[in-house]
């Protein structure tokens, strides 16, 4: 079976950590730093998909809540 092309995670900061939620898949993970988050996202994707069916590319898109910016 051919794997999917790409999966996009929307990343936001909340309570001193990063939270990443996948678009179109039930995958959510979090970490205290960006480096940890990248590892957590890779692990979550590997656990979610069967071997050979996961995405070729994992993209992280960062959001900034402008309502909270002074």
- At 68 the pLDDT is 59
Contact by Cβ (8 Å): 32, 40: no
The CATH number assigned to the domain holding 15 equals: 3.30.2390
- At 67 the pLDDT is 65
Tokens of 11: 């990343």
- At 17 the pLDDT is 93
Whole-angstrom distance, CA of residue 26 vs CA of residue 33: 22
CA angle (62, 35, 38) in 5-degree steps: 60
Q: Name the pTM for this structure.
A: 0.82
Give the count of domains, the chain: 1
Sign of the torsion formed by the C-alpha atoms of 21, 26, 28 and 34: negative
Please say if the pLDDT value at position 5 is more than 80: yes
Q: pLDDT tens-digit profile of 39-59? A: 999 999 999 999 889 999 999
- At 45 the pLDDT is 96
Contact by Cβ (8 Å): 3, 55: yes
Domain that holds residue 59: 6-65
Compute the average pLDDT of residues 23-41: 95
């Amino acid at each position: 079976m051919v794997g999917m092309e790409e999966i996009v995670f929307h990343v936001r900061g909340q309570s001193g950590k990063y939270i990443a939620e996948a678009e179109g898949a039930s995958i959510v993970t979090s970490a205290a730093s960006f480096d940890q988050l990248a590892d957590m996202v890779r692990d979550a994707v590997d656990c979610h998909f069967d071997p050979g069916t996961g995405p070729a590319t994992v993209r992280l898109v960062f959001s900034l809540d402008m309502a909270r910016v002074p």
